[in-house]
C-alpha cells in the first residue's frame, strides 16, 4: 500500500524505535553526504554498500515519483530491508519541463554535470523566461508500506555558471529570494531552502512520529 506524507500510519518494525537502520538507496556520494548533513545524526542511515548492493538501480519510469519508487522497491524486494530512495529533476519552464526526469543524463548516459549544464545553457541562449524549479521525491518503504515526500525549490536559470560548491545543476540555478546560485551558498544555507532539504525534513518528521 502507498500513502502520502500526510498519512501517519505506524509500521511495526519501527514502532518505538525509529532509529533502526534505514538504507538510502543511492550510489551518489554527493546525495548521501547531503542527506546525512540534513539528518544530523537523528537517524542511522546506511548506503547500498552496507547491504552489499553493487547493482545499478532501475530508473526507467517516465516520472520522478515513479523513479523514486522503482529504486526503493528494487532494494526492498531484493535485499529485504527498509529503505528510501530519492529522485530529483530540474524543470525549466521555457524548455517544456526539460530536463526533468532525464536531468542526470540530459547530455548523455555519462551523467556528466558539466555537459548537462552546458547543454541547458545552450538551449536557453537568448531565452527571456528563465523560470525553473528543482523537484525532489523521496520514496520510503517501511515494512512493505510506501510513503512519498515531496520538496520543491523555485528559481531561475542563470546565463552562466557561478560558484564551486554543491553538485549537479547548482552552479546555474539561482533560488528565488537570493542573488546567488545554489553553488554559492553554504551547505547550511542551501539545506535550509533546497528541494531535497524540504523532502528530507518531511521524512524526518514522519520517522519521528513513529515514536509517539
pLDDT tens digits, one per residue of 134-173: 999 999 999 889 999 999 999 999 999 999 988 899 999 9
Short-list 49, 47, 86, 54, CA closest to 70: 86
165 is annotated as an active-site residue: no
Burial of 1 (0-12, 13-18, 19+ CB in 10 A): exposed
Retrieve residue 95's grid coordinates. Answer: 524548455
Q: pTM score, two decimals?
A: 0.84
- Of the residues 37, 56, 82, 87, only one is catalytic, namely 87
Contact 125, 179 (CB under 8 A): no
Please state whether beta strands 2-4 and 22-24 pair in parallel, antiparallel, or not at all (unpaired): unpaired
Distances (CA, A) of 49 to 22, 58, 116, 150, 183: 13, 17, 27, 26, 28
Retrieve residue 34's grid coordinates. Answer: 547531503
pLDDT in tens, 5-55: 443 333 335 444 555 678 898 877 777 777 777 776 777 778 898 888 888
Query: What does the domain layout of the chain look like in residue ranges?
Result: 2-209
According to the CATH classification, is domain 2-209 in 3.40.50.1820? no
Amino acid at each position: 500500500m502507498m500513502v502520502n506524507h500526510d498519512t501517519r500510519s505506524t509500521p511495526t518494525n519501527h514502532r518505538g524505535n525509529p532509529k533502526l537502520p534505514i538504507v538510502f538507496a543511492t550510489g551518489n556520494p554527493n546525495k548521501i553526504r547531503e542527506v546525512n548533513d540534513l539528518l544530523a545524526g537523528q537517524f542511522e542511515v546506511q548506503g547500498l554498500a552496507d547491504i552489499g548492493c553493487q547493482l545499478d538501480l532501475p530508473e526507467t519510469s517516465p516520472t520522478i515519483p515513479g523513479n523514486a519508487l522503482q529504486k526503493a522497491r528494487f532494494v526492498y524486494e531484493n535485499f529485504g530491508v527498509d529503505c528510501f530512495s530519492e529522485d530529483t529533476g530540474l524543470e525549466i519552464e521555457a524548455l517544456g519541463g526539460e530536463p526533468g526526469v532525464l536531468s542526470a543524463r540530459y547530455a548523455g548516459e555519462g551523467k556528466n554535470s558539466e555537459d548537462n549544464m552546458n547543454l541547458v545553457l545552450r538551449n536557453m541562449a537568448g531565452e527571456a523566461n528563465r523560470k525553473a524549479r528543482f523537484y525532489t521525491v523521496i520514496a520510503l518503504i517501511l515494512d512493505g508500506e510506501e510513503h512519498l515526500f515531496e520538496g520543491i525549490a523555485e528559481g531561475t536559470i542563470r546565463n552562466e555558471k557561478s560558484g564551486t560548491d554543491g553538485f549537479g545543476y547548482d552552479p546555474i540555478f539561482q533560488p528565488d529570494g537570493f542573488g546567488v546560485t545554489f553553488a554559492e551558498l553554504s551547505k547550511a544555507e542551501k539545506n535550509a531552502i533546497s528541494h531535497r532539504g524540504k523532502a528530507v525534513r518531511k521524512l524526518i518528521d514522519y520517522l519521528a512520529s513513529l515514536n509517539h
